[in-house]
Amino acid sequence: MILNTVRDFMLKEVHGLGIAKVASLDAEKDKDLVLEIFHKAAALGLCGVSIDEKFGGLGLDFNTGLLFTEGLAGGFSFATTIGCQTSIGSLPIAWYGTEEQKANYLPKIASGEWGCSYCLTEPGAGSDANSGKSRAVLNAEGTHYILNGQKMWITNGGFAEVFTVFAKIDDDEKLSAFIVEKAFGGIELGKEEKKMGIKASSTVMVFFNNVKVPKDNLLGERGKGFNMALNILNSGRIKIAAGGCGGMKFGLDKTVEYAKNRIQFNKPIGDFGAIKQKIGKIASELFAIESGVYRTGANVDRKHADLLKNGSSENDAKINAMREFAIECAILKVQGSEAMCNTADEAIQIFGGMGYSMETGVEMAYRDARITKIYEGTNEINRMLALAEFYKRAFATKELKLADAKSFLPKAIFSNYNPFNASGFLAHEFELVDNLKAAFMIITGSAGNKLKEKLVEEQEIVMNLADILSMAFLTESAFLRVQKLSENSATDKQELAIKTNMAKMYLYDALTVARNAANTAIDSYATGIEKIILKRLMRRMLRTYNINPKDTRRAVADYMIDKGGYYF
């Protein structure tokens, strides 16, 4: 119901404007129209999906919130406006605020009376957010912090009434966070940025000039703002992937419709193998990303429930449940954004000249998608973050039990497995998934032993390792989903066959990605006999998956063309 409500709203209020109007929307000259749509969304409750019911929100569980984000994707630039309001704009208060702060701000945010923004990035502090220069000093009376600083790339900043601002108190090394109202005075907004995409989304610089912030508006603990920022971004990262799923479905539906109706050489272009290859690849990537997104979302909800059951406060349960899955969020942000950008690119290719024209709106989707590889941390930063978080949990906090993970390594290394003798549904596939995990463990361990603390400086190797880790996680997610569906007697057999083919196609491509990443990493640090042994192991473990990729992709594409898109 939530998903259909959001989709119907976007079709009526955004698509109803017409492609030409949507493509020409500008955050500055069309501010009134954008705000009109924003307030219509708020009237439906769409601004309060992440806010508890007692504060005027819908109080959705995290996984349903991801589905909401997926539904937004068809709203082009407007998806960014609502996405900010319901995610990074309001979550700092919803997760870290006192009861008084929540009661004061969340009802107005949920109702849409107040737009909200998240102010972290500065001209000299992007990926290195903790190097920001913004400062807050307690006044002589001890009643207010005097805030000075400059923030940039602030989404919704042009109409926000409340800002979550990250700044250092006095000479602190770590950031703190503050709830800052526009009404406090001393806030100056820059002009709306002229951007490549998401043009109707408000993006401005915000200047804080001796802003008097009440002492009670310190959000969370002093010096804990950086940790807060990271955890809020974890939520934003997985939501980018969820939005990516919505964008990919929208793009796939449009390309399938065009491929069925565009006639060349006396038949629809959807009949040609070159087009089917593209459609099949998009669908397979979408299936894997979708599987990873909602698997992780469900796990966040389970962790949240467990923490509450064991005595955690509501705030702590939300915070720690999200933190638990930081690695998965980073993986999904990277792979989801890259898959969405690939979909937009291939959509233009399938549409040909019409795709390059503004008339169809496909080129707008291409421009809008590109930002997803940059915000919430660039994809390069997120690849490195995934590895850094893995190392921290494996060796510093000991949260990851590597002894358990090592139990399957001997099998992966020494097995004389014959894929033609596999027994049981997906037995061969799950062994290859285990091999992806084992390959990651072996190269990570080898690189760590060889480079030690210098590994963190070898960013190319770290990103190679992150790609192997990503392929292991997403292939496992896809096949766990297929396995679960196979155990449900109500599952349609044809649908199960297509979903199995999508998972198989993703695994086929994932092994290629992992094989290249593994060999590149090994060539970048290993020498002599170690290099020879590692490469032999990778050839054995990341061997070619014995399927026919052409026929598998075509089967997936034919299903999508027959159904008119990704209708599961």
Radius of gyration for the alpha carbons in the chain, expressed in angstroms and rounded: 24
The bridge status of strand 218-219 relative to strand 203-214 is unpaired
Q: Give 32's contacts (C-beta < 8 A, 6+ positions apart).
A: none
HSE-up of residue 117 (Cα within 13 Å, Cβ side): 28
Query: Which residue in 467, 468, 471, 457 sits closest to 525, CA to CA?
Result: 457
Backbone angles phi and psi of 458, in degrees to 5: -90, 75
How many other C-beta atoms are found inside a 10 Å radius of the C-beta of residue 252? 22
Per DSSP, which regions of 340-495 are E strands?
none
Instruction: Name the percent of the chain in helix, strand, coil, to the closest 5.
Output: 65, 10, 25
What are the b/e assignments for 53-66, b being 16+ CB within 10 Å?
eebbbbbbebbbbb
Query: Residue 438 belongs to what H/E stretch?
Result: helix 427-451
Phi, psi of 151 (to 5 degrees): -125, 150
- CA–CA dist 201, 195 (Å, integer): 10
121 CB-side CA count, 13 A: 19
Listed in order, strand segments (DSSP E) in 11-126 are: 115-119
CA distance 355 to 349: 7
Q: Out of 290, 376, 389, 476, pick the active-site residue.
A: 376
Q: Is 376 a catalytic residue?
A: yes
**Distance separating alpha carbons of residues 216 and 138, to the nearest angstrom:** 12
Residue 269: what are its φ and ψ, rounded to 5°?
Answer: -65, -20
| CB-based contact 269:275 (threshold 8 Å) | yes
- Cα separation, 134 vs 213, in Å, equals 14
Query: Please, which residues have CB within 8 angstroms of residue 440's CB and are 6 or more apart in sequence?
Result: 465, 468, 469, 472
Residues involved in catalysis: 376
